[in-house]
Structure formats: structure tokens, C-alpha cells
Amino acid sequence: MMFPSRRDMTELPDLSQEVGRAGPVRSRMPVYVDLLPPCNERCPAGENIQEWLRLVKANEDESAWRELVRNNPFPAIHGRVCYHPCETACNRKELDGAVSIHAVERYLGDLAISKGWQFTKPRHTSGRRVLVVGAGPSGLSAAYQLAQLGHEVEIRDGAPLPGGMMRYGIPEYRLPRDVLDAEIARVTGLGVTITSDHMISDLLEEQAEGRFDAVFVAIGAHLSRRVDIPNRDASRILDAVTFLRDVASGERPELGARVAVYGGGNTAMDAARVARRLGAEESIIVYRRTLEQMPAHAEEREEAVAEGVTMNWLRTISSVDESDLTVEVMELDENGVPRGTGTFEHLEADTVILALGQESDSGFLRKIPGMRFDHDVVKVDPRTLMTEVPGIFAGGDAVPSERTVTVGVGHGKRAARQIDAWLASRPAAEGVKHPVATFDTLNVWYFGDSMLTTQPELEPATRLTDFDEIVGGLDATQAHVEAGRCLSCGNCIECDGCLGACPEDAVIKLGKGRRYRFDYEKCTGCATCFEQCPVHAIEMIAER
């Protein structure tokens, strides 16, 4: 008897809603499937979250860490700074609250640092050399993956220390520098060379002199967008990127008692919160749109408010005077676009910080014949991330994308695999994604309710005295409990439910870790196995 392949299954009618016993002639049959968990589907870094959570649940922490770092070499960093879209997608939130995936990831990352776990070096070398421009999350991720593939990699970066915006844009109270340094050190431990304080002006010349076979450009968005605001004292106006960079480098600029931050993104929130830590008694966000239109992540905004930052919605700065600034009150038109009302207000401010977005410094790339741009970012093939110039790839903030650490790491991984394929003159393997396992396809009665774990946090009143980390991590017991809350959506958990439910003894257990198979000579197609499977790892398909 021939049975359909996984590809054939996508072409068959959905008979999953049929119930009851099969007739004399079996019209349908069960098959085991692996669906895509929604957390995996939403992870910009492409982590197999469900699998490493399973390993934590099984008390195999080092195996879980090694599974995680196959796709993302920085779990201790991501567990702190990622905005965890995986949790927004988590099916468990429909039951009693999303699994705290980022907290378990941080636990694994911190455990690896404390235990001294290192990456496994590749057994073979390719003899190929790759230049990576930029030591931020995307460049470091690409270098890690390329080194794992056996290539010799050198990163060249213009800053004194590696890390990019992770070091010079994210404040220490969110990402301690010892954590950042520890995870970067593992990458250099693979043999990746990082050359700091190195500004590139002629990329093609550096490629030729270094005999690099390919290049990955991963420059960050380190230039602040400017806006012309009439002012009487330009020294009172700072840009947020430079401000955060100076503070991260150890400087403590004098801001005065009252600081106004112009902008509504995450950088604006960080600037306002840092200003409070530098002694500002008042830190005000001035934003031309509404709360609902604010690009900053909700948790960033909520943390800022908890620390005493005030929000001034529907306001735009029109001029800066000696001790205050003039703002115009805005309103939304019928399309939700802000427009001026002609009504003005005065706000007292000793310093104004502009946080109106960032741009990439792509000037050195414009000298390359054939390179194409869309404003400040490089045009690339969205699948391969290769530019119009063969052998030069780009990712992270250098290309059109959401500018987050996790997106950058995902770009680095994808670029590394595409570069590896290009160097070998072969097409890169394209993985086939399975359908996503949705909440309504699960039998959640199997799991029941559970207690949510919470990470400890410093009280807002004590945060402003220094740059100590605000959020603590889970202990081992909490991390394992939290991992145990995972519903394993769409992936067999070997619960033996199908084995016990089958009235014909048509389910055969293959041993731990090997799951089950069906004896189709005994199976009647009654669908009892399908109807009780808690994680939807069984589908009913039409008999052929």
C-alpha cells in the first residue's frame, strides 16, 4: 500500500472535522505531522524555540543552549533586549498567559556564561576569506555563522569596541556590558578577527588588498536624522544617538534640571530614561502624534513612565529659546495625519534631545559602480541579501528592515548561508515551512492552568541612582517550570495518548525520542487518535 508524502498532504481535502467510526471501507487515515509552532514562525532570528524549550523541560540545559545558538549566538543578550514577538504569537496566552520565552532564553545565556560553555569549532576549513563590515548584531551573527561553516572571517568596525548599537545605543540598565563582552568573546573564540577603530573609505580596495572572496556589509544606523528648529543656543540641542553613545563611552554630560526629548521611538525612551539617571528632575517626551501611533514598544514606554518620564502628545517643537521651547499643538486630520492648529505652548527645558530616527552612513558604498540605494539603505535581493554587485551582501540596518537586534541577527544568519552557497557556486537550500499550529487546533484540556513566573525588578524609585540592571533573571527552578508551560504546538510530545486511545492497537511505539508509527493494516480510520492529540501532531487525510 502506498501512502501520501508530506507534499501530497497539502493537496488533499481537509477531513479533520469528520467524527465517528469509519465505515466498512476506510476513507481516511491518520498520519503524524510536525506543524510550525507560532513562536518559531514569528522569531526574526529563526530559532527553533519549541525544541530548546523541550530540552529545558527535560533538564538538558546545555543541549538546549546548543540548540538555541545554532541560530542565535547571543541568548543572554536577546533574553534582555529582544521585544519577543514569539510571546505575542504564543498560543498559551489564550489559555493563561504566554510562556516567558525571553526569560528562559536569558536563563540559558547566563548559565552558559557562568559555566564557560563555548561554541564547537568546525572540523574543516574552506580556504575562503570573508570581510564583514560592522561589528553590530548583524555583522557578529554573520561572522559566527560563517566561521561555523569553515570560512576565515575578519570584522572591521569604526568604533573603539565591538557591539555596535548593542554597546553604544542600548543603555547598561538594559544590557550590562559584561554580558555583551562575554557573548562577543565566544565569537572571537571561533577564530573571528575583529579590527576596531577602522573606518572604511574604499571597500573594493580593502577587499582586494585583503584577498577577501566575499563581503557582508552590516553597518548600523549611527547617524541621527536632523530637523531645522530655530534656536538661540545650539549647544542646548543634542542628538539622541550621539548622546547615548557618549554616555555609553563613560561621559556624563551636564543636562540641567529639565530635559525635553523630541521623538516617540525606543531611542527617545532610552534618551529620556538616561537623562533621569544623569540627574534631570524633569524628563519630557514631546511627540507629534498620539499614544496609539507611537512607534516605541509598549514596555519601553511603560518603563519610562514608571521612572518619572512624562509624555506630551500631539505637540511639535517650533523653536528653542534660552530657557524654554515653543511647541505647537497638533490635531489629527480625517486620515490620522497630524496637522498644526496654530495654538502654541511654552515648556521649560534646559536641554533638548532630538530622537527623530537614525540613518546608515552608507557614503563609502556609493563609490562602488553598480551599487543601488533607497535613500540611506542599500538595495538587495530580499531572498539572498546580495547587492547589485556580485559578492557583496548587506543586512541589518544597512538594508530596508525593522531595526532591532533580533532582525539584525536573523539577517546575519541568512547572509552567511547565502554567502556560503555563493562561494560554492550552488543555490542555497530553501527550507519548506509547515503550516502554523493555531490555538483552535489544540486540545488544551490536557495541559491545565499553571502559575506564571515573574522576573524580579528594581523598584522605580531606586533605579535612577545608577545604571544597574533593572530586570533580574529566573533561577533554575523557575526556568524549568516556565519551559514546562510550553504547549509544544504541532509537535509530538510522546504523551502516549494516541497509543492508549486506539481501539485497534494500530499505534506502535518506537521508543523514547522516536515517537510512533501507524499499522495501517489494523487502522480503521476512526480518528480517535486525532481527536485526543493535545498538540495536533496527527492529521486525518483522505485514503487513496
Average pLDDT, consecutive stretches of 10 residues, N- to C-terminus, the chain (544 residues): 37 44 71 95 95 96 98 97 94 93 98 97 94 96 97 96 94 96 97 95 94 93 70 76 92 92 94 95 95 91 94 92 87 92 92 85 86 86 92 86 88 95 88 88 84 86 88 94 94 94 94 92 93 94 84
How far apart CA 415 and CA 392 sit, in angstroms, is 10
Q: Coil, strand or helix: which one is 283?
A: strand
CB proximity list for 381: less than 8 A, separation 6 or greater? none
Query: pLDDT value at position 8?
Result: 42
**Number of domain units in the chain:** 4
Residues 341 and 399 in one domain: no
d(CA 122, CA 368): 34
pLDDT for 4: 37
- Where residue 506 sits, what CATH number does that domain have? 3.30.70.20
H or E element that contains 413? helix 405-423
Contact assessment for residue 478 and residue 468, using Cβ atoms and an 8 Å cutoff: no
Edge-to-edge strand list for the sheet holding 282-286 = 237-239, 351-354, 258-262, 282-286, 310-312
Q: What is the pLDDT of residue 427?
A: 84
Establish if 469 belongs to a structural domain. Answer: yes
Task: Decide: residue 150, CB within 10 A, 0-12 exposed, 13-18 middle, 19+ buried.
Answer: middle
pLDDT at residue 1, as a whole number: 32
Residue 39 lies in a domain: no
In a domain, 435, yes or no: no
Residue 448: the pLDDT is: 74
What does the pLDDT read at residue 36? 95
| pLDDT value for 484 | 93
CATH number at residue 290: 3.50.50.60
User: Which is it for the CA torsion 495, 498, 502, 505, positive or negative?
Assistant: negative
Q: Please tell me whether residues 238 and 352 are part of one structural domain.
A: yes
Report how far residue 11's alpha carbon sits from residue 476's, in angstroms, rounded to the nearest whole number: 45
> Treating both helix axes as pointing N-terminal to C-terminal, what angle do 61-69 and 49-57 enclose, rounded to 10 degrees?
170
Q: What is the pLDDT of residue 447?
A: 83
> Does 430 reside within a domain?
no
**pLDDT at res. 117:** 97
Asked if residue 537 lies in contact with residue 33, where contact means CB atoms within 8 angstroms, the answer is yes
Task: Compute the distance between CA of residue 494 and CA of residue 42 in angstroms, rounded to an integer.
Answer: 25
Q: Are residues 388 and 354 part of one domain?
A: no
Considering the domain architecture, whether residues 399 and 368 belong to the same structural domain is answered as yes
Is residue 428, in this structure, part of any structural domain at all?
no
pLDDT at 88: 95
Tell me which H or E stretch contains 363.
none
Task: State whether 60 and 24 are in the same domain.
Answer: no
Amino acid present at 454: T
Owning domain of residue 113: 48-117+444-483
pLDDT at 10: 41
Residue 432 lies in a domain: no
Q: DSSP characters for 179-208?
A: HHHHHHHHHHHTT-EEE-S---S-HHHHHH
Q: Has residue 188 been placed in a domain?
A: yes
Claim to verify: residue 299 and residue 235 sit in the same structural domain: yes
**Residue 103 CB coordination number (10 Å):** 23
Q: Residue 515 domain-assigned?
A: yes
Do residue 91 and residue 184 come from a single domain? no
Same domain, 97 and 189: no
Residue 157 contacts residue 196 (beta carbons within 8 Å): yes
- 92, 209: one domain: no
**Grid cell digits, residue 349:** 527645558
At residue 60, the pLDDT reads 97
Show which of 358, 375, 395 is a domain's final residue: 358
pLDDT computed for residue 450 by the predictor = 78
Separation CA 449–CA 437 (nearest Å): 20
Of 358, 392, 409, the residue at which a domain comes to its end is: 358
Do residues 195 and 314 share a domain? no
Q: Which residues pair with 394 in a beta bridge?
A: 217
Whether residues 59 and 157 fall in one domain:
no
Residues 70 and 101 in one domain: yes
pLDDT of residue 233: 61
Choose one of 337, 358, 379: the last residue of a domain: 358
